Every structure is written in structure tokens, then in C-alpha cells.
Amino acid sequence: MSANNPQAVLWDLDGTVVDSEPYWLLSEQRLVEEFGGTWSEADGFALIGAGLTNAAERLQKFGVDMPVDAIVQRMVDEVDVMNAQQIPWRPGALELIRSIHDAGIPQVIVTMSYRTTAQFVADEVGLFAGVICGEDVTHSKPHPEPYQMGAALVGASPRDCVAMEDSIPGNESAVAAGAVTIALPLHVPIPESENYTIWHTMVGRDVSHIREVFAKARA
């Protein structure tokens, strides 16, 4: 590995590769309203980056009288249907993924979504070396385990990887794992920090920009 070349790039999925948060919000809203409650955009955005089990437990507090596993499966099924109709790619993401792939750097999806959701998007892109999803981990983000597993999947140390994240729990997970982290805020603001680099867009970015961030962090 050269000084400015990461061993892998680890991608969050929802809100990072795809802008699917509105799909999750819609599913949550439908569930709460079925049980006579009200679910706002702010309620949904407060869950961005959280594990699906945590989200389901929150929905129960809003009156959804279903087991956690049933809530999770209902949301996953609905989001999968919406993704199948139209994948909401985040601008610049596909171009950046292709540039990294063409440079020979492996890429892994590291998401708290379930495998059906993550694998569908991964298969559509066709350039990822693997997927770490919600079913694979014992501890959800912001615990470092997801990014530790993502790096291990391609035989790398998290310290030698770049992580791409849109949420505060996701950034905390990546930073705690030791990865060089690029924050990509979308629906929820992310505060400035010396622990990560903030990009407000991926449009016009390529592997040279990834290398630049990595080299600066490891200088």
C-alpha cells in the first residue's frame, strides 16, 4: 500500500450511496398512522444511522403494537419494493464508486439495513467486494464493530481504509474503528470535527480526492 492509497473504501448505504431515507420515513409513518399515531419528518430523521431494531423499539413507543422483528421485516419489505421501483442514487456516488473500482481499490457496503436491501443495491452497482449488513453484527453503529467487520472482509485494517458516511452514529462508528472518515451530510447536519472530513457533495469527486483525504489523515 502506498502512503496515499487506502486498502479499501467502506460505504454506508442509506443516505450515502442512495438517498433512501425518505423511503424509510414513509414506511415508519405508515406504520405509526395505522395504529392511530403521528410520525413527523423530525421523528424519522432522528433515527438516521440507527439500527433497525432500535428504530422498531422507537416505533413501539409511538404506539405500533407489533413485535420488533415484525416491525423491522415490514419496513424492510416496503423499502425493498420502493427501491425495486426506483433506486434513488445520491448524486456523484456511482461515478465515485466506479473511479475507486477502476483504481483497483476494493469497496464494501457497511450498513445497518438488512441483507435484502443492501444486496439489491450492491448487485445493481456490481462493483462491491462484499456487504456487511444489520444481520451480521452484534453491535449496531455507533459501535465500531460494523466497520471493523467491513475492513476484515477484504483483509484490511480499518486504519488503512476510508469510510463514507452520512449520519452522526455512522461517523462515530467509523471513527471509533480507526478508519479515515469522510462525512457526507444529507438530511441531518454533521458538525465540523477534526475526526473526519466533510464533503457536501460527491459530484465531481474521483479516487484522487479519496487518496488526498487519506494521505492528509495519515501524514
Residues of the chain with pLDDT under 50: 1
Determine the Cα–Cα distance for residues 197 and 34; give it in Å rounded to an integer.
41
pLDDT value of position 188: 87
Given a contact cutoff of 8 angstroms between Cβ atoms, the answer to whether 101 and 107 are in contact is: yes
Residue 52 has what pLDDT?
87
pLDDT of the residue at 48: 83
Alpha carbons 23 and 29: distance in angstroms, whole number: 10
pLDDT value at residue 199: 98
| Domain boundary assignment for the chain | 8-18+88-218, 21-85
Q: Could you tell me which CATH number the domain at 21-85 has?
A: 1.10.150
pLDDT of residue 2: 55
Contact indicator for 189, 77 with CB cutoff of 8 Å: no
- The reported pTM is 0.90
What is the homologous superfamily of the domain 8-18+88-218 according to CATH? HAD superfamily/HAD-like (3.40.50.1000)
Buried b (16+ CB within 10 A) or exposed e, 146-161: bbbbbbebbebebebb
Would you state the pLDDT for residue 56?
A: 95
pLDDT at 1: 45
Q: Would you state the pLDDT for residue 3?
A: 65
